[in-house]
Amino acid sequence: MDKLPKIALPAIFISIVLIILITKSAITIGSGEAGVLYKTFGGGVVTDGPPLGEGFHIVAPWNKVYIYEVRQQEVFEKMQVLSSNGLEIKLDASAWFEPKRESLGKLHQEKGEAYVQRVLLPTIRSAARSVVGRYTPEQLYSSKRDAIQAEIYEETKKIVDGQYIQLNEILVRDVTLPATIKEAIERKLKQEQESLEYEFRLVTAQKEAEKVRIEAQGKADANKILSASLTDKILQDKGIDATLELSKSPNSKVVVVGSSGDGLPLILGNN
């Protein structure tokens, strides 16, 4: 009975140490995450193999695992940039990105866990300043937003591709101009719209007038051709035909052929 406590104490101590070691050695990597292994006595960050995947892992207690989210993420950025004529423009943009899984070890070794602040955001700001500086406020306000978005994406992607970051999309969410410039642009756009509307009405009126002129000219030409074709003989024949048709009327009458001055039948009636 006296020996029991002497055996139990070391066993309890060893059990506690084992529990601590297992606790320190057990790593669970969640969904959408990957782990970078750091070997304290084995050369530091492991960069020559795939990162640790999702699930439960046992690592040596003197090593460490850095967990990164490898799903697509979004970061927002508000910037103040200058247009081509030096006016200050406020630009709200966001980026869809994810770390390159196969290069996660190198990303951790060279950029660290704060790679978004150290690499991605500065690159977006630089690209935005470069791209917006090529355009006037009028272009930024109206028709060039899609082009600006695409150009910022391309310039940012060229840089971060070599920094172990996969850029999926850049979204320009808002472009804010100085109030006075915005009002001036809106007035100009309104005037241009009114001018286009006036030109449309003018062209429509001109086409309508041309249509009326053509129709009138057509009628005049038809009458001219008809007049030229009506000889005295044709008129006389037409008159005879009309008189004969009239003679078929039930009203009493007397038809004398050739007695009128122009040689047409003369109709005498009692009504």
pLDDT tens track of the chain, all 271 residues? 455 566 666 766 676 766 666 666 788 999 999 999 999 998 899 998 899 999 999 888 889 999 999 999 999 999 998 888 888 888 999 999 999 999 999 999 999 999 999 999 999 999 999 999 988 887 877 667 788 999 999 999 999 999 999 999 999 988 888 776 756 666 666 666 667 766 777 778 788 878 888 888 887 777 777 666 656 666 566 666 666 666 666 665 555 555 455 555 555 555 5
Q: Judge whether 82 and 88 are in contact, CB under 8 Å.
A: yes
By CB atoms closer than 10 A (0-12, 13-18, 19+), residue 35 is buried
| Eight-class DSSP state of 117 | I
Q: Between the CA of residue 149 and those of 51, 159, 202, 231, what are the distances in Å? A: 33, 16, 39, 80
Q: Is 27 helix (H, G, I), strand (E, B) or coil?
A: strand
CATH code of the domain occupying 73-182: 3.30.479.30
Q: Between the CA of residue 92 and those of 87, 177, 246, what are the distances in Å? A: 16, 12, 91
Predicted structure pTM score: 0.62
Residue ranges per domain, the chain?
22-69, 73-182, 234-269
Residue type, 124: I
